[in-house]
Amino acid sequence: MAETKVSGKTKEIIISSEKPTVLIGERINPTGRKKLSAELQKGNLDIIEKEALEQVSAGADIIDVNVGATGVDEVVLLPEAISRLMEKIDVPLCLDSSNPKALAKALEIYQGKALVNSVKGEESSLKTILPLIKEYNAAVIALPVDEAGIPFTVEKRLEISAKILNAAELLGISKENIIIDCLALTLGTNDQAGKIVLATIENIKEKLDVNITVGASNISFGLPDRNLINNVFLAAAISKGLTCPIVDVAAVIQSVLAIDLVLGKDRFALRYVKNYRRKKAEGGGGCIKSLT
């Protein structure tokens, strides 16, 4: 199985189906978050520093950074945010933007090997994002979406994923640097969405042999008791081959540690027991500190 390596200033993370599940913290994203959007519009980065520190404390291995609020100049603010966070945390960062100029500016100042979110199967995206991945020796999350939009069949998602991998290979980008997002969509509007994404994960793992992510909380959007759905989904998805979900880490860390233990990814149950002891020492509540 492919190993994807990303790093911050001092810390490297290896993503692989043979290793524990890597958690990408999702909370620095202004979508649906009015307070975060308002602070980003003012150019105030204190809130993203706070979110990053809390997510690392909760157990995040990688922090996704999206500053794309309405009215924000990402070309200016994304590199500023990345620079600020590199001073405060050592885990790798995921540069989350569809703006090639903003990504280029952020990649120029990034210390380590970045993860970029994302490239699509659209020709315009392949031509603007993949050359940046090659130039800066980054890894990238690939969305199996093309000019026709989000495909609803496993076969079409597999086809677009293969197209992206082929385009990357032509530029000399190895498949180890490509992570496929298998597109979790809400069960609230399609009761087959879970079945489709699980089958996509299984097929991508078997046929393309790359690492796999999903925005896990998308599966429960619009439904009650979302944490229950998210954690059940993660158990099924990790068992199928999901290696690095994008998640609210504090809400899922305990379940993911238990899932990894059951699937034989926690030798002698060391991570699970360490988590239990730390939680007990903290009074049985609160977030879990990083275990890696």
CA 72 to chain centre: 22
**Residue 291 pLDDT greater than 70, yes or no:** no
Q: How far is CA 237 from CA 98, 151, 203, 229, in A?
A: 26, 19, 12, 12
pLDDT in tens, 162-185: 999 999 999 999 999 999 999 999
Helix (H, G, I), strand (E, B) or coil at 187: coil
Report d(CA 246, CA 66) in Å as an integer: 13
- Kindly state whether residue 291 falls inside one of the protein's structural domains: no
Q: For the chain, where are the E strands, in sequence order?
A: 4-7, 12-15, 24-28, 62-65, 93-96, 115-120, 139-143, 178-181, 211-213, 246-247
- Kindly state whether residue 289 falls inside one of the protein's structural domains: no
Mean pLDDT for 153-162 is 98
**For the chain, percent of residues with pLDDT exceeding 70:** 97
- Kindly state whether residue 88 falls inside one of the protein's structural domains: yes
- Kindly state whether residue 292 falls inside one of the protein's structural domains: no
Which residue range is the domain that position 55 belongs to? 4-281
**Residue 290 pLDDT greater than 70, yes or no:** no
Res 280: pLDDT: 86
- Kindly state whether residue 261 falls inside one of the protein's structural domains: yes
Res 36: pLDDT: 97
Report DSSP letters for 34-94, one per residue.
HHHHHHHHTT--HHHHHHHHHHHHHT-SEEEE----TT--HHHHHHHHHHHHHHH--S-EE
Q: How many helices (H) and strands (E) does the chain have?
A: 10, 10
Res 161: pLDDT: 98
What's the structural domain count of the chain? 1
pTM of this structure = 0.96
Res 284: pLDDT: 61
- Kindly state whether residue 240 falls inside one of the protein's structural domains: yes
Do residues 5 and 12 lie in contact, with contact meaning Cβ atoms separated by under 8 Å?
Answer: yes
CATH code where residue 219 lies: 3.20.20.20
Q: How open is the CA angle 78-80-83, to the nearest 5 degrees? A: 110
pLDDT in tens, 77-89: 999 999 999 999 9
- Kindly state whether residue 253 falls inside one of the protein's structural domains: yes
Res 283: pLDDT: 77
- Kindly state whether residue 288 falls inside one of the protein's structural domains: no
**Residue 292 pLDDT greater than 50, yes or no:** no
Phi, psi of 282, deg, nearest 5: -90, 10
pLDDT in tens, 230-286: 999 999 999 999 999 999 999 999 999 999 999 999 999 999 999 889 888 887 654
**For the chain, percent of residues with pLDDT exceeding 90:** 93
pLDDT in tens, 95-139: 999 999 999 999 999 999 999 999 999 999 999 999 999 999 999
Do residues 105 and 75 lie in contact, with contact meaning Cβ atoms separated by under 8 Å?
Answer: yes
